[in-house]
Amino acid sequence: MNYLISRLENGVTVATAAMPHMESVTVGIWVGVGGRHEPESLCGISHFIEHMVFKGTRRRTAAEISQAVEGIGGYLNAFTSEENTCYFAKASHDHFDDVLDVLADMYVEPLFAAGDVEKERSVIKEELAMYLDQPQHHVQELLSATLWPNQPLGRSLTGTLQSLDAIRRQHIVEYKRRKYIARNTIIAAAGRCEHARVVASVERLLRAIRSGPAPRFQPARNGHSGPRITLHKRETEQTHLAMGFHSCSRVSPHRFKLKLLSVVLGENMSSRLFQVIRERHGLAYSVQTSTSYFADSGAFIVSAGLDRKQLSKTLRLVLSELGKIARKPPSESELRRAKDYAVGQMKLSLESTTNQMMWVGEHLLGYGEIHDPNDIIRQVEAVTAEDLSREARALFQERDLSFALVGPIEERKTVESLLRIP
């Protein structure tokens, strides 16, 4: 890929990934602020701001914002994560100026009208209720709170009913003024685009972004003295479980080993947990592993949805597989399949202009540079079978196990007795 990066005089970074063979271009405005930058009293304010910039600017109503992009056959969206917020749009490359103008207008001059704040507060409460109605989502939030109790990483990105009620218009205006500053703003474009043209357009539209210190966050606290368990009783058809272990940060070279460990254990239908839990024993429809990384911490996660009666057997089998890979490295053929899967999925993903834009923004905010995918491949290829066992032995420790469950739960002591890694 031809990645080019420029820094404007005001501190804004502009980066492009040229894909001249594509018809589309995806443009994103990234801000290095998210849920873990928030005080507890304003939990959810980053996500609230993300919603509010769509509600109107000095030049456009909410309807005109969506019409300006959808009316040219484009797509407009946004998301908030623990450390970043991103506003992005995709359209035909000949509408690049149109989508950048809309995004810049939303970023620079949102109205934050008092009436819209009140309406959107109700909308976000409905979003919160929707997530709580989805036990597979709810259990992941409970797991985060269990992994990182009483700290920002463990809080809901959506906020709580109490924090949402406490957020006022003046909080939103002041929070955006202090956190949305030039040095933590990145404009990323991928697709059929020319770097010089992108830079010139950004200079014209975003020169007014103020300077200031980059937002800071509270360091993660990972200490455990034994398994942590959160049980949420609820009459659901399935019991949903999630277990997690603290892992490395996004800058650690161990992340490549953990990625392959996750692929071997549970990222596809060929994985050990899928084959054992679903195919061999028929205990669950859904079982998978995943990894998450932050600036100073991370987690390795196993999750599943199953019949309550199968909880004991499923947990024993899951924990048995974690113990097995810690004791014995995978075969060379299994490792080869995992590497080919990880590399193949990355290559397929990067064929998309949207995913290329995500790659650029996430890397610049997370690493300060854009990693060449070929460098990633080389580091994946360097991982050995013994590396995976060594990582599993260090990672899968009962004292560092966090566990969350949503459903018609068993007695707490019963669950505690099951959390043993052989």
* β-strand pairing of 239-247 with 75-80: unpaired
Encode burial over 225-237: b for 16+ CB neighbours within 10 A, e otherwise. Answer: eebbbbbbeeebe
Contact of 29 with 359, CB cutoff 8 Å = no
> Catalytic: 50?
yes
- Report how far residue 63's alpha carbon sits from residue 384's, in angstroms, rounded to the nearest whole number: 54
Q: Could you tell me the end-to-end alpha-carbon distance of the chain, in angstroms, rounded to an integer?
A: 46
Contacts of 361 (CB under 8 A, 6+ apart): 15, 28, 30, 84, 86, 186, 188
- Report how far residue 222's alpha carbon sits from residue 216's, in angstroms, rounded to the nearest whole number: 19
Contact of 422 with 320, CB cutoff 8 Å = yes
Rg (CA), the chain: 23
Q: Which two structure tokens, joined as six digits, stand for 316? A: 């024993």
Amino acid at 53: V
Give the dihedral of Cα atoms 55, 59, 63, 64; nearest 10 deg: -140
Q: How far is CA 270 from CA 126, 279, 288, 317, in A?
A: 38, 10, 11, 16
Q: Which two structure tokens, joined as six digits, stand for 241? A: 């479980």
SS3 at position 26? strand
Sign of CA dihedral 59, 63, 66, 67: negative
Contact of 387 with 257, CB cutoff 8 Å = yes
Helices (H), 206-329: 254-266, 272-273, 311-327
Q: Which H or E element spans position 239?
A: strand 239-247
Which residue among the candidates 38, 50, 321, 391 is catalytic per the annotation? 50
Which residue, 367, 346, 353, is CA-closest to 28? Answer: 353
What is the set of active-site residues?
50
